[in-house]
Structure 1
């Protein structure tokens, strides 16, 4: 029994360098682009930045923040209301399917918060709502570091806040 334990320990020590070589460090990326948010008849735009890490070729995480740059006017009854996105922030788990070195598909799911401002005349109201988010997209790289990204994300707002669809096009930079 003692010999079996010693042999197992020796094999484990010999295999440790091989295991260390299979573990890779994370790769990082950032994006900067435009997002169009379609929420219950109001279409608002935002500049979106993301920072992500791929822990394996297939799994990673990313954080995003958007700041509103456009507004939309909707009619509520006989009143015109201007809607603007102030900001949103979210964190996602990301699953990637590499098709080739220059193209990959991804799916992501996460949680975030969005703040909108509605104003009419001298009155304005600001409100934020949390959401469960999920979506899909694709990255195309023109070289080893630079590319473009297109994605769609559904936001299911909590507390009866409805849903919104976010469409994004971004520049991608791998680090």
Structure 2
């Protein structure tokens, strides 16, 4: 379902891509980096449960094809479970990561990007009055697309895989949909 939403967003962005609007031009990069921020919802799909988070990012593009960004998420949706007669829940406490971002502008409104970086995540599980926290570091990589309505405002859809460095921690797929603001 989440992959479908991201794909549908990308198709819609291409469909609306014919309308001409102003966007940051390569000449804007001669005065320094172009900065952006975004805020949205992220769905974390893992073997232990599906969790939700509010995600904020801040980035700088140094030219039309290269930039960096930082990301912070705070959990807002837990996953409840039951083992026999004991109820429990898994909670996403937070995560933070830094990325290198490569961008491929398709037209004035639409761009594709790929990113790779490193991050940390903290998860908390509670059941039967007991609590356990786990935090781990991960190598992260992913791809997505930005669609801009005008020179400053847009939407972003992306997928990121978190490969945790601890051998038994596994991996998590994160699907995000965000509002983007350039300044």
| TM-score normalised by structure 2 residue count | 0.80
Shifted more, 68-77 versus 101-110: the winner is 68-77
CA-CA distance at 1:126 after TM superposition: 1.1
Of the three residues 46, 50, 60, the one matched with 2:57 is: 50
The match for 1:138 is: 145
Aligned length: 155
Of the three residues 17, 33, 43, the one matched with 2:40 is: 33
Of the three residues 155, 168, 171, the one matched with 1:163 is: 171
CA-CA distance at 1:76 after TM superposition: 5.5
**CA deviation string 1:92-132 (max 9, x = no partner):** 00000000111000000000000000001311111100000
* Distance (Å, rounded) in 2 between the aligned partners of 1:26 and 1:77: 56
Give the unaligned 5+ runs of structure 1: 1-21
Shifted more, 48-57 versus 77-86: the winner is 77-86
Equivalent pair of 1:156/1:164 in contact (CA under 8 Å): yes
CA-CA distance at 1:139 after TM superposition: 0.2
Within 5 Å, which residues of 2 pair with 1:147-162? Answer: 147-160=154-167, 161-162=169-170
Within 5 Å, which residues of 2 pair with 1:19-168? Answer: 23-75=30-82, 79-160=86-167, 161-168=169-176
CA-CA distance at 1:74 after TM superposition: 3.4
CA-CA distance at 1:79 after TM superposition: 4.8
Q: 1:129 to 1:78 in 2, by over 3 A?
A: farther
Equivalent pair of 2:44/2:50 in contact (CA under 8 Å): yes
* Distance (Å, rounded) in 2 between the aligned partners of 1:94 and 1:43: 26
CA-CA distance at 1:41 after TM superposition: 3.9
Answer with 1 or 2: which has the greater Rg. 1
| TM-score normalised by structure 1 residue count | 0.84
Equivalent pair of 1:41/1:74 in contact (CA under 8 Å): no
* Distance (Å, rounded) in 1 between the aligned partners of 2:83 and 2:31: 55
Equivalent pair of 2:51/2:92 in contact (CA under 8 Å): yes
Q: Secondary structure in 2 aligned to 1:43?
A: strand
**RMSD in angstroms over aligned alpha carbons?**
1.7
The match for 1:3 is: none
Structure scoring higher RCO (CA < 8 A, sep ≥ 6) equals 2
